[in-house]
Amino acid sequence: MASPLAQKLAKALGSPVTASKPMRGGDIADVSCLTLGDGRKVVAKRPRADQGDTTKLEAMMLKHLRAASDLPVPDVLFQEAGILVISHIDHKGIIDPRAAAEDVAKHVSALHRVIDTGKKPYGFKADTVIGPLPQKNTLCADWITFFRDNRLLAMARSCLNTSRIDAAFMKRVEALAVKLPDLIPADPGASLLHGDLWAGNMLIDGDRAAGFIDPAISYGHREMDLAFIQLMGGMDPAFFDAYHAHFAIEPGFMEERTALYQLWPLLVHVRLFGGGYVHQTANILERFGV
């Protein structure tokens, strides 16, 4: 007799699971490709024993992206405590790097045109996660406050509390936080952000973007996603020219704000891994005189 979970999956998916094959996953989940009795393939994610269960949050974020934008993301097919099942997106990998980068730019720029115009547009209706880490999204009326409190200082304090950085390093981050009004705009527009845009979260099929996975969404300055790609996205340089053609990049991004916004993913990596990421973060702090 099929297990209770197998019965639930068969009912939700319209066909029983007949085979399961492990897939390369992230740091926080075991990922499997499930074959159904009708020949379809789906993807199942289960949190690893040493990690928290983020399946409910991931399902919510994917549903929000699906409802609010045209970004190609997997459909959420089933979710309960300990498991998320999403549609399988076929992709062969990159064959034409330039064309693929241009197609990614088309999708990302369209995502960023989804704007929150409310009184407190920066943030999100709920806290989310980036990888295995909590991501604070307390709604704010201005971008400087949001970036300072929910991104820069929040992750730096998490690094301090886990001994990834020391008190002196924390004071340097706090000193930079004081300078933010002179470095970033207060109201750049609250774009819908993917939040974790690197090559591993972009499913490329030859010369096009077939799908985007593992989001860490919020509404914020669109340059946050661009800085993430610049740091670790693995995109052909044509990405930025193509993006600019769709949605002009403001002056000063490449010269200053790229490095400033890269502090967020770098602090995430400091919190997770320590090591050389501390040195990279320190170099940026020094660049801004703290």
Show which residues are catalytic. Answer: 196
Max CA-CA distance within the chain? Answer: 66
**What are the φ and ψ backbone dihedral angles of 248, each rounded to 5 degrees?**
-55, 135
- For residue 258 the two structure tokens come to 């790229």
**How does strand 202-206 pair with strand 93-94?**
parallel
What is the layout of strands, in order, in the sheet containing 29-36?
Answer: 17-23, 29-36, 41-47, 83-87, 76-80
Please classify residue 118 by burial: count the beta carbons closer than 10 Å to its beta carbon, then call 0-12 exposed, 13-18 middle and 19+ buried: exposed
What is the distance between the alpha carbons of residues 31 and 25, in angstroms, rounded to a whole number? 5
Residues whose CB is less than 8 angstroms from the CB of residue 67 and which lie 6 or more positions away in sequence, other chains included: none
Q: How far apart are CA 97 and CA 235, in angstroms?
A: 7
Matching residue, tokens 């490709």: 33
User: What string of DSSP letters covers 172-226?
Assistant: HHHHHHHHGGGTS-S-S-EEEE-S--SGGGEEEEETEEEEE-S---EEE-THHHH
Distance CA 214, CA 26 (A): 9
With DSSP H G I counted as helix, E B as strand and the rest as coil, what are the percentages for the chain, rounded to 5? 45, 20, 35
